[in-house]
Structure 1
Amino acid sequence: MELPAGLVWLARSLTLAVATGRADPPFPRSRRLRIPIPAALRLLPFHAVDLVVVANLLVFWLVYGEDLRFLPGDGRLLGYPGWWLSLSALLSSVPVLLREHWPLAAWRISLVGACVIAPIQEILGGAGGMPVPLPAAVPYLLVVYSVAVRCERRITLGVWTVSVLVLLSTPGGFDSITPAAILVAVTALLGYNVRSRRLATLRLAQEERRSEQALAAQATLEERARIARELHDVVAHHMSVIAIQAEAVPLQAAGDVGRLEEGLREIRALSLSAMTEMRRVIGVLRDAEGRVDTAPQPGLGRLDELVGNARSAGLTVALSLSGDLTGLPEAVSLSAYRITQEALSNAMRHAPGSDVSVRISRSGGALNVNVTNDAGRPSPGTAQRTAGPGHGLVGMRERVAMLDGRLWAGPVGTGFAITAILPVVEET
């Protein structure tokens, strides 16, 4: 015959409370409950005074002293030896010192102390109608509170149930047991509420830490993506120019050592420029102390240099600037530069020798970037590159989306066109 589920649950609760239960680790102590000791007065190994520990010591001393005063002066009481009476006083007061680290063990010792001292209370005629003397009741309630704060709900219920059963076994009448049972229940509920509030606070703190970690991870991924875009723009543009010049210079030199050396100097200058920009971007990752390179990012002020590199690679570039391009936000200027750079790199790879039109204008609250190239006229001995899809257009779209702008890219006639509209929001 199976027992009802409620009885099985109650039996497990009693077993946890009396024998097998374990308390949770203590909650972090509030700093307001710790008073630092001045360095000149630090004669002991600790550097602060824990007010809870001091309060426990004070309660222990007062309760133990009151229990001894509660006993007869000759140390004997109707057959009880003096050491038995002193032991009962110790059992009722020592649990206060143990409740911080071992609340369940402290409660079990306090329970034994209550069972030992109850007959003595009856012999003395009771005190205030309580089944145990008041000096023994205070530590017991403190220990029950500690159990309710540090233990799960089943253990707390088991502790209250065992307490009521012990009260029923005491010689006091129902009128004295009922208030005591209610007092223990109120203490347990108070401790349970404190436990629930502290657990909620800990869960909230954990969620905040997880949110901070998620935000940090997201920021790391965004930073990596930004660095990857920068590296792609730098490498793709400069390597395209270098590769085209490496093919074109020997053909253009046609055995002329002077022209060959000049072409090689241009290739070397472009290589050094690419390495400088790559060091600036990668330096953010390599700085062990978290310092950031303060070298300015490229912007529209370096368009002439960019166009010059493209022209040296065989493109015919017509640059048109209109509107007030000074005082642009750094993000807008950098994005416009990178979009132009990527468009020129695409023209070098897919339409070498093409005519390219670069038009950048500012009207109202937007910066318009338009780069158009035709089919190109490859030089003899240079093959038109038809590399697979890369990350250039993806990087453009990400840059434009970051600024809440718009981008169009696609074939126009026999060539290709890219148009970007970047909102200009003044930095504050």
Structure 2
Amino acid sequence: MVFAADRRTAMIPVAALVVLTALIFRPWEAWVEIGLRTSLITFAAALLGLYVAARRQLLASLRERAERAERERHLMAEQARGEERVRLAAEIHDVVTHRVSLMVLQAGALQVSATDDRTEEAAEALRTTGCQALAELRDLVGILRAADSDADSDAGHATMPQPVLPDLGTLIAESESVGVPVELAERGDRSPLSPVVGRTAHRIVQEALTNVRKHAPGASARVEAHYDREVVRLTVRNTAPTRPADPALAGPGPGTGLLGLRQRVELVNGTLVARPRGDGGFELRATLPTQVAAST
């Protein structure tokens, strides 16, 4: 018992030293500080994560709204263009076809009442040209009016016989008759074409050869026609002119006819490239689909 009491008495100074050391260094304050600091860092990291997530969500929402607004503007513009095309088609039909129809009727009346063969032939040529103009105008107006009904129009015309590309020999002969040598090279089998595509292809070659006569005196030309099942590829090249062009024949300048030709090609979903060649000549390339739906 005496030994146990002495042992307890000896531990009192040790306990007092521990208590005094704890009061001096206060270790609990460090743990409290560490705990608070850890909690603050964790809370701040959580807030930062929530902020970043909210910001990303907001940016994604704004981007989606902007894209939706852009799509809506595009659709509205397409709708406006479609309505304008329909309006122009109706106006063209009402004004131009009326006048051309009168010309055809007057030419027919002149042919009937003609007293000599020359007048009769001229009236017949005028009437035929007017009928061709009306046919082309109907095709172009049909394309302007065509929109979502293209598939139905295709289905309705699938069993109708389709013409092929008009004979280019007539255009070649016309150019050669005025002193422009033209070489014709055709490849592939002539596939059935929509009437408007055939006329557009014929018009491309006609315009290209006309430009050679107007802007490249003394040049020769080569016409290449590649027939495929899906597309028709036309290429017209001419060599460099050997003499200056006649200002009265060339008109205000080259390019106006090509602009109208490019617009016509785009109406049938084709492509047209016209560019000068390195040897001083000129080249025109066109690619046209064989079938184009046109409502009538």
Q: What TM-score results when the alignment is normalised by the length of structure 2? A: 0.46
Comparing both chains, which one has the higher relative contact order based on Cα–Cα distances under 8 Å and sequence gaps of 6 or more?
2
When the two structures are superposed, what TM-score results if normalisation uses the length of structure 1? 0.33
